[in-house]
Structure 1
Amino acid sequence: MTMLPARRFLPSISLLAAFEATARAGSVTVAARELNLTQSAVSRQIRSLEQQLGVELFIRERQTMRLTLAGDSYAREVREALRRISSASLNLRANPHGGTLTLAILPTFGTRWLAPRLPKFLGANPGVTINLVTRLSPFDFRLDSIDAAIHFGPAHWPGAELTLLMSERTLPACSAAFRENHRLETAADLLDVPLLHITTRPDAWETWFGVNGVPFQSVHGMLFDQFATAAQAARAGLGVALLPTFLIQEELGRGDLVAAVEREMESTERYYLACPIERADYPPLAAFRSWILAEAASEV
């Protein structure tokens, strides 16, 4: 069990709230109005906090309070800590019997694949509340109040336990009109058209051309941070995007997207459920892990 810091380094919430409000507003008067306190009460709380810490947090000027360098850094940390406490309290109030699972998701995977399936999980686990947040890359679970994350990449995440969910196949996709206008027939033909890139997979097109035996000097094109926007751009005729087939089934079925050339590629990386090792047996997480494994198996 991790021990808490000494009491002198754990100021009361009232002191921290007075400090954060004043730091944000730059005015004791505005902070007092926000906290429904008197100006003198807020000033006393800030003085008390400074005395407890042994650090001056504000430079007092005639009508304003200006943060010192130390105070500015402390304000950022305190604001985040208060936000996390507030979120924890809100989660507890929403589900007083526990069972809250906070899951970090990849944007398109979360909206296209996970979200439509979640009602099934929640129906089978009525005591569990799920909160979803977006994360595009691995993070430190110790610094974030997140129970688990959907991870795409190598089977490596320091301090986390990884459960393999599924593999992935990608397809060069575009609009039917784009394919016809550019007379796309072979893999090499794609060197002559605009290519759409995902920032989290900067080498995807190079890998695809290599797998298909197409020599190239360099590959350029528009950049997107999410598959959903890249897919929309491809639909609009801006170019060819290399997209996971399981995320664009609806577009392919409607004909909004077509294969630029029939050359799918299996990604070398995989989708995983990542969680802190010490959190692996948390009941809502264990239930979610079993469920998502079954859902992922249905994709095979």
Structure 2
Amino acid sequence: MRRHIPSLQGLLCFESAAKHASYTHASQELCITQSAVSRQIQQLEEFLKLELFTRTRHGVELTLAGQQYYSLIKPYLLGLEQSTLDIMAHKGLGGTLKLGVVPTFATCWLLPKLHRFNEIYPEITVHLETSTKPFLFNETIFDAAIYAGTPQQIAHWPGVQTHYLMKEDLIAVCSPQLILKNFPDAQMINEYSYDLSPEQLIQLPLLQQTTRPTIWHEWFKTHQIFHPKSYDGHRHELFSMLAVAAKQSMGMALIPQILINPELHNKELVIASSKKLEGSRSYYLVHSSQESSPLIQKFIDWIQQELLLSSTQNEDRNIEE
């Protein structure tokens, strides 16, 4: 059967004209004449039996149908271009893995370790883009995603296969200067931890997470501590932002320990309490259930080994203490 796909040249002319709202700019970008751009778009409109542009005093603008078509084809043209560049770069060997990753996990945990994946699989290139919300894989250019969510959110993500990575347990951290300023006689229980009393904890300013505004209230309630202002404090969206604010002695933050081990090791942050909050969310690697890519499987095997190594190192550190 003949596929209902217009010519690639027509799509490229349409995409460029739509982006610039100008046939003239499209012709300059594509290095063809303006009349050639106009002819290609006219043929595309005849193929679709739709008008994609209307003329204005200043050039052209998309019709409603044109706006919709532009938003639909743009990611596919980008994906086609990237796939072409990838195959040229790898010369048919290995490939490229495009991952959507939650920002702080990418910056604080994945990127510092990714060189080890590259050493094992130099033929695989990993592209990372931040993504914080579920999406449909058939509408994106991602091969897989690392997502932090609840089991219920994962269960209602259609058409995916999931691989559990780890729980998101939260610990209370702050700068050592903040503790010494408020409690000069406080004693550490190990090289990077205090265990402040409930009376001491409620005296420290709090740093709140914008996306989870009740998180401190939940922590105090779980440990049966009454805090009259558990919702107060500066608000930041990402764990990485909370970590920076905490290092500047702006307050105490709840952050997964696995994301701030370097800061704890360097004593930029210290654990303020031995009490934890078992997170309702976990980290998962998610990919389309319709595809089974050997590149994805290699990445899954590698990241699970890295998590096992991190867990073993943490256990050894606890034994030493």
- How high is the TM-score relative to the length of structure 1? 0.88
Local SS of the residue matching 1:83? helix
Aligned counterpart in structure 1 of residue 288 of structure 2, from 269, 276, 279: 276
Report matched runs for 1:204-283 at 5 Å: 204-216=215-227, 219-279=231-291, 281-283=292-294
Report matched runs for 1:20-169 at 5 Å: 20-62=15-57, 64-95=59-90, 96-155=92-151, 156=154, 157-169=157-169
C-alpha distance 258-62 of structure 1, shift in aligned 2 (>3 A): closer
**2:318 paired residue number:** none
- Measured against aligned partners, the alpha-carbon deviations of 1:140-188 in whole angstroms (never above 9, x if no partner) come to 2221122222122223233222222223432211112222333493335
- Measured against aligned partners, the alpha-carbon deviations of 1:91-142 in whole angstroms (never above 9, x if no partner) come to 2222232432222222221222222222222222232221111111222222
Tell me how far apart the structure 1 counterparts of residues 120 and 198 of structure 2 sit (CA, whole Å). Answer: 46
- CA shift at 1:62, angstroms? 4.8
Local SS of the residue matching 1:243? strand
Tell me how far apart the structure 1 counterparts of residues 62 and 106 of structure 2 sit (CA, whole Å). Answer: 40
The amino acid that maps onto 1:145 is I
Contact 2:159 2:290 survives alignment (8 Å): no
Tell me how far apart the structure 2 counterparts of residues 200 and 276 of structure 1 sit (CA, whole Å). Answer: 26
Tell me how far apart the structure 2 counterparts of residues 63 and 272 of structure 1 sit (CA, whole Å). Answer: 49
- CA shift at 1:189, angstroms? 4.3
Q: Which runs of 5+ in 1 are unaligned?
A: none
Contact 2:87 2:95 survives alignment (8 Å): no
Contact 2:214 2:231 survives alignment (8 Å): no
Tell me how far apart the structure 2 counterparts of residues 108 and 296 of structure 1 sit (CA, whole Å). Answer: 16
Kindly indicate whether residue 291 of structure 2 is the aligned counterpart of residue 296 of structure 1: no
- CA shift at 1:194, angstroms? 3.1
Aligned counterpart in structure 1 of residue 298 of structure 2, from 271, 280, 287: 287
Local SS of the residue matching 1:75? helix
The amino acid that maps onto 1:161 is Q
**2:191 paired residue number:** none
Local SS of the residue matching 2:283? strand
Contact 2:247 2:269 survives alignment (8 Å): yes
Contact 2:213 2:231 survives alignment (8 Å): no
Contact 1:187 1:209 survives alignment (8 Å): no
- CA shift at 1:230, angstroms? 0.9
Contact 2:175 2:269 survives alignment (8 Å): yes
C-alpha distance 76-161 of structure 1, shift in aligned 2 (>3 A): closer
- CA shift at 1:235, angstroms? 0.6
C-alpha distance 70-190 of structure 1, shift in aligned 2 (>3 A): farther
Identity of aligned residues (%): 37
Instruction: Kindly report the root-mean-square deviation, in angstroms, between the aligned alpha carbons of the 2 structures.
Output: 2.3
Tell me how far apart the structure 2 counterparts of residues 267 and 168 of structure 1 sit (CA, whole Å). Answer: 5
The amino acid that maps onto 1:55 is L
Local SS of the residue matching 2:14? helix
Tell me how far apart the structure 2 counterparts of residues 256 and 219 of structure 1 sit (CA, whole Å). Answer: 25
Q: For this pair of structures, how many residues does the alignment match?
A: 294
Contact 1:99 1:283 survives alignment (8 Å): no
Contact 1:191 1:219 survives alignment (8 Å): no
- How high is the TM-score relative to the length of structure 2? 0.83
- Measured against aligned partners, the alpha-carbon deviations of 1:25-77 in whole angstroms (never above 9, x if no partner) come to 22222211111111111111111111111111222235511222222232222
Q: Which runs of 5+ in 2 are unaligned?
A: 187-195, 312-321
